[in-house]
A and B are shown apart, each in its own frame.
Chain A
Amino acid sequence: MSHEPSAHAAHAPEWEVSVWPFVISFGILFALPVAFAFKFVYGLSFAAILALGIGTPMIVAGIAGWVKEGLGSHHGAGLAFPAMGWFILAEAMIFLSMFAAYWFNRLTAEAWPPAGSVELPRIMPLVMTVVLVASSLTIHHAEALLHAGKRAGFVNWLVLTMLLGAVFLGMSAYEWNHLIHQDFTTDTNVFGTVFYSITGLHGSHVIVGLGIFIALLLPALRGKVNTPFVKTASLYWHFVDIIWFFVVSQVYYW
Chain B
Amino acid sequence: MNTWKEWIFTTDHKRVGVLYLIGSLAAFGVAGIMALLMRWELTSIGPTLTENPSTYNVWLYAHGAVMILGFQIPALTGFFANYCIPLMIGAKDVAFPRLNAFSVWLFYVGIVLAVLTFFIPDPPDIMWTAYPPYSTITSGNTAFYTFTVLILGFASILGGVNFLTTVAYMRAPGMSWNKLNIFVWCTVAAFVLQLIFVPVLGTAVTLISFDKYLGTSFFDPARGGDVLIYQNLFWFYSHPAVYVIFLPFIGVVYEIVATFARNRVFNYKMVVYGGIFGIVGLSGVVWVHHLYVTGMADWIRIGQMVTTLLISVPVGFTVIGLVGTLYKGAISFETPMLYALGVIFLFLIGGLTGIPLAITSLTLHLSDTYYVVGHFHYVMAVAGTFAIFGGVYYWFPKITGRMYSETMGKLGFWITFAGTNVVFWIMMDIGVKGMPRRYFDYAHFPQFENAHQWMTGGAALIGVGFALAVINWIVGAARGAKAADNPWGSQSLEWTTQTPPPPGNWKDVPTIREEWDPYAYAQR
Listed in ascending order, the chain A residues whose CB lies under 8 Å from chain B are 1-4, 8-9, 11, 13-22, 24-26, 28-29, 32-33, 36-37, 40-42, 66, 69-70, 75-76, 79-80, 82-83, 86-87, 89-91, 93-94, 96-98, 100-101, 104-105, 108-109, 114, 185-187, 189-194, 196-197
Contact = CB atoms under 8 A, between A and B. Distances in A.
Q: What 3 A-B pairs have minimum CB-CB distances, sorted nearest first?
A: A190-B224, A25-B105, A33-B147
Interface of B: 1, 5-6, 8-12, 15, 91-93, 95-99, 101-102, 104-106, 108-109, 112-113, 120-122, 141, 143-144, 147-148, 150-151, 157, 160-162, 164-165, 168-176, 195-200, 202-204, 207, 209-210, 213-218, 220, 223-226, 228-229, 232-233, 236, 502-504, 509
A2 B509 contact: yes
Given A105-B218, A190-B224, A193-B218, A89 B106 contact: no
Given A79-B169, A190-B224, 19 more contacts: A1-B171, A13-B503, A17-B9, A20-B98, A29-B113, A36-B147, A36-B209, A37-B143, A75-B95, A76-B96, A93-B195, A93-B198, A97-B233, A101-B203, A101-B229, A104-B228, A105-B224, A109-B224, A193-B216
Contact of A26 (B105, B195, B196, B236): B105
Contact of A105 (B121, B175, B203, B229): B229
A32 B216 CA distance: 19
A183 B311 CA distance: 49
Contacts of A105: 218, 224-226, 229
Contact of A41 (B104, B143, B174, B203): B143
Contacts of B172: 1-2
Contact of B225 (A42, A79, A193): A193
Contacts of A94: 199-200, 202-203
B92 A4 contact: yes
Given A2-B509, A28-B106, A79-B96, A13 B502 contact: yes
Given A3-B170, A4-B92, A25-B109, A75 B161 contact: no
28 contacts: A1-B175, A2-B172, A2-B173, A4-B170, A9-B509, A15-B503, A20-B98, A25-B106, A32-B147, A32-B151, A37-B120, A79-B169, A82-B169, A89-B195, A89-B196, A93-B198, A94-B200, A94-B202, A101-B218, A104-B229, A105-B224, A186-B215, A190-B218, A190-B223, A192-B217, A193-B210, A193-B218, A197-B210
A4 B147 CA distance: 36
A88 to B, nearest CB: 10
Contacts of A189: 217, 223-224
B195 A69 contact: no
Nearest to B215: A187
Given A2-B173, A36-B143, A69-B98, A17 B5 contact: yes
